[in-house]
Structure 1
């Protein structure tokens, strides 16, 4: 691991792999709607903090469909690298794009955890990257196989995290005004009770 364990907007790249409807159909490890909401929150976080995003899809024309529209709408014109193999790290275009960005911390989100997430994570670790797996934006075929895949990646050196931890880690100080409004809006929209509390504090609690 690098000397400073916390992520910053200047040192990370987000890799989004196979968040496609055809693959989401196979997710049995978590609620699919929550999974999509979490991934949208992560994509919004990357946009607010100007973290570069690399997107890869597979079999989009024959089975899986395109990147889910709710995620693409957040990312805008970010292109998707279509590939044929399960391991995005073995795709020359994906690996070249990450190398061109030049950052050694990789945040990973994707479907399915057992293959298209774990394979590039293990490969990136072997190539010396610091890898952070956003576990609540990944889904597996079963809860057990998802958990086992996460454990394998963690044993190999990947750091498990959540979309909310990524956002708070990048913000780190609520007096950072340039990202405050954007970060707060994401929390209010996607972070359940925590978001409800922030909205309440904004609307109801006033200094005497």
Structure 2
């Protein structure tokens, strides 16, 4: 098993997207919804750029929650969401099997809602010996307080909290890694706020080799 203190690498982790659906996003009060979607898109683009396995699971897509949100689906049009009835990915045989099949023991989790589906999956994966990182700014809770309490519970159980930009920078680590440079830089420029503006400026004004 990969030690929990080692840095992420593209060969040791997989991304799980849980219930990133509009019907659930309507109830999110812990983060601006547009920011939530943008962060999740950035995280998903990062997973694609570094060739991470991606498992997508949805619930109640036909009766309440709707499909995987279109901006996220546009990044991974070839990934088929696994529909569940259970709130917990780990208690759905098909979804759990898809995670196990990646062969990765480090899981990056993004999803809705923090208090339920994210927490349940993370706790169950931890119990099975996985190293779990919750991408907290790509998760949403019903309220700021309940979201933060869920994260505190997860951290106390052994999960690590991270952000989409930390995931990207940790996977890239060296801007001379040419095979992922262009994709990583494009993601930061599109979603990285002031840091992205700075990268775009340096590209246009300094003309790095």
Same topology, TM > 0.5: yes
Q: How many angstroms apart in 2 are the aligned matches of 1:205 and 1:172?
A: 21
> Residue 206 of structure 1: CA displacement?
4.6
Within 5 Å, give how 1:93-132 maps onto structure 2: 93-132=94-133
Are 2:80 and 1:79 equivalent residues in the alignment?
yes
In structure 2, the gaps of 5 or more residues are none
Are 2:189 and 1:172 equivalent residues in the alignment?
no
Within 5 Å, give how 1:1-208 maps onto structure 2: 2-3=2-3, 5-206=6-207
Q: How many angstroms apart in 1 are the aligned matches of 2:107 and 2:32?
A: 25
In structure 1, the gaps of 5 or more residues are none
SS at match of 1:75: coil
Q: TM-score, normalised on structure 1?
A: 0.97
Runs of 4+ in 1 over 6 A off after TM superposition: none
The alignment of Structure 1 onto Structure 2 pairs a total of residues equal to: 207
> Residue 68 of structure 1: CA displacement?
0.3
Q: Deviations over 1:112-144 (max 9, x none)?
A: 000010000000000000000000000000000
SS at match of 1:74: coil
SS at match of 1:56: strand
Please give the root-mean-square deviation of Cα atoms over the aligned residues, in Å.
1.0
